[in-house]
Amino acid sequence: IVSKKLFEIKNRICGLIKLNKTTNSYNKNPIERLGFLFSQINEFICYYLCGMIDYMVVGLGLAGTAFCETLRRNNKSFVVFNDKSQTSSRVAGGLYNPIILKRFTLSWKADEQLAVAVDFYKQLEQFLNIQFDEKLSVLRKFASIEEQNLWFEAADKKSLKPYLDTRLVSNNNSELKVPFEFGKVLETGKLDTKVLFDGYIKWLQQEKKIYLETFDYNELKILPNSVSYKGVKAKNIVFA
pLDDT tens digits for 30-89? Answer: 666 666 666 556 555 555 555 799 999 999 999 999 999 999 999 999 999 999 887 888
C-alpha distances in angstroms, 50 versus 3, 121, 143? 16, 35, 65
Task: Tell me what percent of the residues of the chain surpass a pLDDT of 70.
Answer: 79
pLDDT at 107 over 50: yes
pLDDT at residue 41, as a whole number: 63
Which residues are within 8 A (CB) of 102 and not within 5 positions of it... i.e. 6 or more apart?
none
d(CA 155, CA 183): 10
Please report the pLDDT score of residue 28 as a whole number.
52
pLDDT value of position 25: 42
Residue 164, pLDDT > 50, answer yes
Per cent of the chain over pLDDT 90 is: 74
d(CA 74, CA 96): 26
**What is the pLDDT at residue 24?**
44
Q: What is the mean pLDDT of residues 160-164?
A: 96
Region 99-115: what's the mean pLDDT? 94
Other CB atoms closer than 10 Å to residue 37's CB: what's the count? 15
pLDDT on residue 31: 67
Mean pLDDT for the stretch of residues 12-34: 53
Average pLDDT over every residue of 181-202: 96
pLDDT averaged over the chain?
86
pLDDT in tens, 109-159: 999 999 999 999 999 999 999 999 999 999 999 999 999 999 999 999 999
pTM given for the model = 0.75
Strands in 13-170 per DSSP E: 52-58, 78-81, 95-96, 99-100, 105-106, 133-135, 138-141, 164-169
